[in-house]
Chains A and B, each alone.
Chain A
Amino acid sequence: MATPKPRIRLPKSVEAGVPFTVRTRITHPMHTGLRRDRDGELIPRRIVNRFTVRYNGEEAFSAALEPAVSTDPYIQFELSLPESGVLEFEWEDDDGSIYSLRREISVV
């Protein structure tokens, strides 16, 4: 499996206290553990089971994912921030891997 590649889209600068949209996606097969390969063998479950967003170290948003989430999990949510800071995004894989991104956001 190719290494999952996380991506996020958010505005370069935002207004204080005005909600803005954050779009996130990570390339991942999200194997349910219920499907079989061509030889009839079960493909073991392997999903991204948790997605977390922190703002200046404080947890702002999280999602606990089950196998019913689509391949290449896409999650969109909103943030409303009081001041400039650092956003950290983290995806946790069943195999223990953690994929992360970090963005500085300027609030005007």
Chain B
Amino acid sequence: MAPTRRDVMRLGGVAAAVALFPAVAVADSNGISQAIAAFTKGAMALEAGLSLEVPEIADNGGAVPVRVAAAGARRIALFTDGNPYPGVVVFEFGRFTPPAATIRIRLARSQSVIAVAELADGTFRKASRAVAVTVGGCA
């Protein structure tokens, strides 16, 4: 069947939306961009070298296990883009602590968890995972 004019218009609308917002990886309804910029002091974060483990589906948003690890990291911060406040935790690792940690966090609804690591050489790494939350935690 040949596409109708309506189909073509619809496709055009989607294409325009994608073209207008190409780099929108995370929604910024809670100030997460500013929070991350405060942590990195505006430096770019490379999307590599940081492991972020979060369940894809969380039945209980009140306690979602999150594990982060990044070789050579001095600090690792966790953020969310759909909680009332973006910050969750900042871990700091000393010379006796391999840079890896696990914590249980609250997710008010389905959203993304973002980890940012500051390495000992002063550069930053970033990773992001979407989590579908069945019952939201009161964050």
Contacts and interface: CB of A to CB of B under 8 A. Distances in A.
- Measured as residues with beta carbon below 8 angstroms from the partner, the interface class of chain A is 20 to 34
Nearest to B90: A64
Interface string B89-127: 111111111101111111100000000000000000000
Contacts of A77: 91, 97, 100-102
Nearest to A55: B96
A69 interface: yes
Mostly, the A contact residues are strand
A78 B63 contact: no
Residue with the greatest number of chain A CB neighbours at <10 A, chosen from B85, B90, B97 = B97
Contacts of B72: none
22 contacts: A32-B106, A34-B84, A55-B96, A60-B94, A60-B95, A60-B96, A62-B91, A63-B90, A63-B92, A63-B103, A68-B80, A69-B104, A69-B105, A70-B104, A71-B63, A76-B101, A76-B103, A77-B101, A78-B97, A78-B98, A80-B98, A81-B96
Shortest 10 CB-CB distances between A and B: which pairs?
Answer: A76-B102, A70-B104, A60-B94, A70-B63, A68-B88, A66-B87, A64-B90, A77-B101, A60-B96, A62-B92
Interface of B: 62-64, 80, 83-85, 87-98, 100-107, 137-139
